[in-house]
Amino acid sequence: MSDTVAEDILDGTCCQLCGCYFENPDGDSNSILYSHEYPVTCWECWEELSKEDKKEHQRATTKTI
């Protein structure tokens, strides 16, 4: 995990809108957190975005913790 929430947002470890962290879908991994390696929006926030706003955000590939 990064040192700051800002770094976690930039590397896609947490949602860029609400700050919720992403669950690692690989149950065998040592880390419970998942990093997309780029800024993403969680599924819950994605549903609240307008069609226009969705063009400016990347949807997460895994669910939040």
Give residue 39's pLDDT. Answer: 98
Q: Is the pLDDT of residue 3 over 80?
A: no
Give the integer Cα–Cα distance in Å for 54 and 11.
Answer: 19
pLDDT tens digit sequence for 17-45? 999 999 999 876 778 999 999 999 999 99
Write down the pLDDT at residue 28.
66
Predicted TM-score (pTM) of the model is: 0.88
Task: Quote the tokens at residue 37.
Answer: 């390696």
Kind and range of the H or E element at 16?
Answer: none
| Per-residue model confidence (pLDDT) at position 31 | 85
